[in-house]
Amino acid sequence: MTLADPRDRLIVALDVPDADAARALVRTLGDAVSFYKIGMELSMSPGFFELLDWLKQEGRKVFVDLKFFDIPETVARAVGNLAERGADFCTIHGNQSMMEAAATAKSRNLKVLAVTALTSLDRGDLDDLGFQCDIADLVLSRARRALASGCDGVVSSGLEVERLRREAPRELICVTPGIRPVENRVMADQKRVMTPAAAIQAGADYLVIGRPIRDAADPRAMALSVQAEIAAAAT
């Protein structure tokens, strides 16, 4: 996959309480970041869609991470509404029929990504959920099914990306969360993490980083440091 702008490979998660806080962080980061993720926390506060519209008006790309899981027709309508608003990425967390429905409703510009295994889950958590299989096998299986359904890619931990690149088609978009810069290794609820350089070298197309940038003493400087690390790893 060829990226039009290498700086788009960093996606900053706007994990903040409301749209005003999101706009403030975007302004702080300035031209250091061109791609943002808006998700569940912001969707429960006023102004979610106004924020999406504002980000697009500001020339930013937007990843709407709501992990749609519902009857196929409802999923298709939700994806269709996002396509009309100009979103660039969205996530689906369902079975084959849900993924197929999402794929039929996407536009040329809106890419649909299937969630594989959340980076907050480890082997014990998957056992509790009834997945009696290797995590990497689960991720690869969902990636293959996503592409067969017409989805554009997956959200996957960096720990599984290298195998995806070996065994799944190269056109698969890999968006990798759970990224922790070396100088910010506090994992909190993330259990399967990787540094930016390691994830890029493993084959990730995009990296999602939230708290390490949001909570840094100088968020813009941290974002620029991550951009430099991505650029170095990609050469």
- Range 168-171, long-range pairs (CB < 8 A, 24+ positions): 168/140, 168/143, 168/144, 170/1, 171/1, 171/147
- Whether residue 72 is annotated as binding a ligand: the answer is yes
- Mention every residue, 6+ apart, whose C-beta is less than 8 A from residue 155: 91, 113, 114, 115, 116, 175, 176, 177, 208
How many residues in total does the chain contain?
235
Q: Does 66 belong to an annotated binding site? A: yes
- Does the annotation list 15 as a binding residue? yes
Q: 17 among the known binding-site residues?
A: no
Is 37 annotated to bind a ligand? Reply is: yes
- The answer to whether 68 is a known ligand-binding residue is yes
**CA proximity to 189, closest of 124, 122, 129:** 122
Identify the active-site residue in 70, 111, 125, 191. Answer: 70
Residue 199, class by beta-carbon neighbours within 10 Å (0-12 exposed, 13-18 middle, 19+ buried)?
buried
**Is 71 assigned to a binding site?**
yes
48 is in an annotated binding site: no
The string over 24-52, giving b where at least 16 C-beta atoms fall within 10 Å of a residue's C-beta and e elsewhere, is ebbeebeebbbbbbbbeebeeeeebeebb
- With contact defined as beta carbons under 8 Å apart, do 212 and 184 qualify? yes
70 is in an annotated binding site: yes
Active site residue 8: no
Q: Does 201 show up as a binding residue in the annotation?
A: no
Q: Which of these is catalytic: 61, 65, 88, 152?
A: 65
Would residue 56 show up in a list of annotated catalytic residues for this protein? no
- Bridge-partner residues for 68, per DSSP? 92
Question: Would the annotation count 132 as a binding residue?
Answer: no
Catalytic residue list contains 65: yes
Q: Which of 56, 67, 111, 191 is catalytic?
A: 67
Mark the binding-site residues, compressed into ranges: 15, 37, 65-74, 119, 180, 190, 210-211
Catalytically active residues are 65, 67, 70
Give binding residues for substrate as ranges: 15, 37, 65-74, 119, 180, 190, 210-211
